[in-house]
Amino acid sequence: MRWRRGASTSDVIDVRGGGRRRGGAALPVGGGLGIMGVIVFIAIQLLSGGAGGFEVPAGFDTATRAPSGEPIPSGQDPEKDLKDFSVYVFNNVQATWERTFSEQGRDYQRAKLVLYRDGVDTGCGSASSAVGPFYWPTDRYVYLDLSFYRDMERQLSASGDFAWAYVIAHELGHHVQQQLGTSAEVERIRRSDPDRANEASVRLELQADCYAGVWAQSVFEAGDLEAGDIDEAIRASEAVGDDRLQQQAGRQVNPDSFTHGSSAQRHEWFDRGRERGEPADCDTFSVDEL
């Protein structure tokens, strides 16, 4: 992917230079990619700004804290190139959604990107990097440990800059869902009809994959895609399918337990968004078959 340095860091909170380290609370929070079999627990924050609640898993550290720490000085940052690329992608994805919302007569409220190491404090408690990248609706932050880039390459065979870009675009897809009220509706289903909770979660995650595809199409239209980029994103989407993660964990594949969708489904919905670049094509909730 062609990109340019010098992207604005006004929406970036870099706490990699201090703060929590591995060994604190390590339970997952909502909206991640499904890494290590993460279970999604969806929090709500309505478009109007009112906060909803969610049932916190037993043992989760719920002390409310803001991310703490400080950035690593640029000249001493071994991840500077990856940080700069991540910030560029984060801003580019948000610019795409700002345009889309504006065309629909809506106001887009920008998310923040938190860069951390090992563990981080969120608006609803603390989490470790073992959960993978995630979006937290109550503070509207995307949380990203840059070491996950290496994990994708070594553990998931999903390498490449556009695979990483797909991860960021997926998490910002959850931010779009939060603003449109989709996350709130899924939370309502989870509470009122537990038998449909997993299916609703899968539909939510596949829609975020489709939204990532919508952004990928905007990159193509801008002339910034390079050979192999889409293949990298597709490999990444397939690598975090529930069926593949269950197989890698030595478990029997159980579709009833899926929370994010199969590898084939994640590939399909990313491609669906990419083909036309239309968010309207990403309505995973109105189709019978995913």
State phi, psi for 84 to the nearest 5 degrees. -60, -40
CB-based contacts of 91: which residues, under 8 Å, 6+ apart? 7, 8, 11
**Alpha carbon 248 to chain centroid distance?**
21
Task: Report d(CA 90, CA 97) in Å as an integer.
Answer: 11
CB atoms within 10 A of CB 40: 23
Indicate if the pLDDT at residue 89 is higher than 90.
yes
The least confident of 40-49, 128-137, 142-151, 245-254 is 40-49
Indicate if the pLDDT at residue 20 is higher than 90.
no
Residue-level pLDDT at 66: 60
Task: Report d(CA 36, CA 262) in Å as an integer.
Answer: 14
Helix, strand and coil percent figures for the chain, each rounded to 5: 50, 10, 45
Six-digit token string for 247: 């197989």
With bands split at pLDDT 50, 70 and 90, how would you rate the model's confidence at 122? confident
Task: Report d(CA 108, CA 176) in Å as an integer.
Answer: 8
Q: Are strands 141-145 and 134-136 parallel, antiparallel or unpaired?
A: antiparallel
pTM of the predicted protein model:
0.85
CB-based contacts of 258: which residues, under 8 Å, 6+ apart? 198, 202, 242, 243
The least confident of 41-45, 141-145, 160-164, 278-282 is 41-45
Six-digit token string for 187: 């939370």
Burial 147-168 (b: 16+ CB within 10 A, else e): ebbebbeeebebebbbbbbbbb
Task: Report d(CA 184, CA 42) in Å as an integer.
Answer: 8
With 0-12 / 13-18 / 19 or more C-beta atoms within 10 angstroms meaning exposed / middle / buried, residue 60 is middle
Query: Residue 52, SS3?
Result: coil
Indicate if the pLDDT at residue 132 is higher than 90.
no
Task: Report d(CA 106, CA 144) in Å as an integer.
Answer: 27
Q: What is the pLDDT of residues 91-114, one digit of tens each?
A: 999 999 999 999 999 999 999 999
Q: Where are the domains of the chain?
A: 12-276
State phi, psi for 258 to the nearest 5 degrees. -65, 140
